[in-house]
């Protein structure tokens, strides 16, 4: 079958919940992807911040092949070595105490919400507690995650949501204070907003919210699904300012392509929230997914992935600043580390499509923001190539 025939087959079989780009990707190598016709693309999306190690990492691939030959699934009624090794390593890099492995980021958010409400119920004996979330946030598509997603467009067709959710503004502490009351059990936010526009929480805001949570025994939940796993130059973005959450979610690059997520918590929350029967999963924590986590975390450490992020991120930032200064319709450069964006005063879709024609894969974060979340192993030469293609695409689009 030709590439177009595969696309036609997909359109007749798959539920149309995505407006897909008209290519069929077949393989990857390093920081490049290849379609069915052999065309090469420089990848500055990494599966939406997933493929941190790039494509074809031999150590990663060999570990998964080895695990497939041993055992893929057992269920959580039994222990398995990969889950234990993965838990040890994620505890070490996160500084958290208890881990629950999930299949996705959205499921990690669901678990975090349940843990926070159970903690409050155990403490106060009632179940009408409230959670404060942030406007312009994105936490996932399942009902709990959608309920704390601060964009009404995502929620309105599926209401009513889970209820007892209030929304404040990121980096506006007064708006948080206005929403706090005796029923508030948790405050949830992305440490760096992803889909909402590549906006980091400021140090002052995070520290103010942390102090408020400590004073009132409110749980701070930090969503590190997109911004975590080294993308900001720290293993988790909150470590940049030392503002430790009570509950944290992680996914995406945690498995570098194998679907896996986790929510983690402090011992205080772990000892006073979810117990046997409160939460579960059939596939979460299975040996294959956890072998991926175990291997990814070892590669991050052994190959000094964070060092590369911190070196190349500043170079990427400079190149994006040059583009911003060159074109008056680019209003702002946002983000941190290898999670950055350019805000235009017009839709960016024409530029993204032109980049794709020229062999560069980038995506948006809203209609007017172009997002750059490449594999964490990119080089300065990759950034130069990206900037050249992007500049030519901008010139041809506007």
Tokens of 196: 């909402």
At 355-390, the pLDDT tens digits run 999 999 999 999 999 999 999 999 999 999 999 999
Q: Name the average pLDDT for the chain.
A: 97
At 183-214, the pLDDT tens digits run 999 999 999 999 989 999 999 999 999 999 99
The Cα 25–Cα 191 span in angstroms is: 31
Residue with tokens 């929304």: 167
At 7-26, the pLDDT tens digits run 999 999 999 999 999 999 99
The pTM assigned to this predicted structure is 0.97
Q: Which domains are delineated in the chain?
A: 3-57+304-397 (3.90.1150.10), 71-302 (3.40.640.10)
- 43 pLDDT band, cuts 50/70/90, is very high
Listed residue (357, 345, 356, 355) closest to 388, CA to CA? 355
Query: By percentage, how much of the chain surpasses pLDDT 90?
Result: 99
- Residue 277's pLDDT is 95
Listed residue (242, 392, 381, 256) closest to 323, CA to CA? 392
Q: What is the DSSP string of 324-376?
A: HHH-TTEEEEEEETTEEEEEESS--HHHHHHHHHTTEE-EESSTTEEEE---T
- Residue 269's pLDDT is 98
Tokens of 381: 């030469």
Q: Is the peptide bond before 160 cis (omega within 30 degrees of 0)?
A: yes
């Amino acid at each position: 079958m030709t590439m177009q025939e595969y696309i036609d087959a997909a359109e007749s079989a798959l539920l149309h919940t995505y407006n897909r780009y008209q290519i069929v990707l077949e393989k990857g190598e390093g920081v490049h992807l290849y379609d069915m016709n052999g065309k090469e693309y420089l990848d500055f999306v990494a599966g939406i911040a997933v493929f941190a190690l790039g494509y074809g990492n031999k150590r990663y691939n060999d570990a998964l092949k080895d695990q497939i030959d041993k055992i893929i699934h057992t269920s959580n009624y039994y222990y398995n070595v990969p889950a234990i090794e993965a838990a040890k390593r994620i505890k070490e890099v996160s500084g958290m105490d208890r881990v629950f492995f999930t299949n996705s980021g959205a499921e990690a958010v669901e678990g975090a919400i349940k843990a926070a409400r159970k903690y409050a119920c155990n403490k106060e004996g009632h179940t009408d507690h409230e959670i404060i979330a942030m406007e312009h946030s994105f936490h996932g598509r399942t009902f709990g995650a959608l309920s704390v997603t601060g964009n009404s467009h995502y929620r309105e067709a599926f209401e009513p949501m889970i209820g007892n959710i209030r929304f404040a503004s990121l980096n506006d502490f007064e708006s948080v204070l206005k929403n706090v009351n005796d029923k508030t059990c948790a405050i949830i936010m992305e440490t760096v907003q992803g889909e909402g526009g590549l906006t980091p929480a400021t140090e002052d805001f995070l520290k103010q919210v942390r102090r408020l949570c400590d004073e009132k025994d409110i749980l701070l939940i930090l969503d590190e699904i997109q911004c975590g796993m080294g993308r900001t130059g720290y293993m988790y973005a909150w470590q940049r300012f030392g503002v430790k959450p009570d509950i944290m979610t992680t996914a995406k690059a945690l498995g570098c392509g194998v679907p896996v997520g986790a929510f983690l918590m402090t011992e205080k929350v772990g000892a006073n929230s979810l117990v046997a029967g409160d939460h579960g999963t059939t596939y979460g924590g299975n040996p294959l997914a956890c072998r991926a986590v175990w291997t990814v975390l070892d590669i991050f450490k052994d190959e000094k992935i964070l060092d590369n992020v911190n070196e190349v991120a500043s170079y990427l930032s400079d190149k994006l600043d040059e583009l911003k200064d060159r074109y008056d319709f680019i209003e702002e450069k946002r983000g941190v580390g290898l999670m950055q964006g350019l805000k235009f005063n017009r839709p960016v879709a024409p530029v993204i499509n032109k980049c794709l024609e020229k062999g560069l894969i980038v995506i948006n974060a809203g209609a007017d923001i172009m997002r750059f979340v490449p594999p964490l192993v990119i080089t300065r030469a990759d950034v130069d190539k990206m900037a050249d293609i992007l500049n030519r695409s901008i010139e041809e689009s506007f």
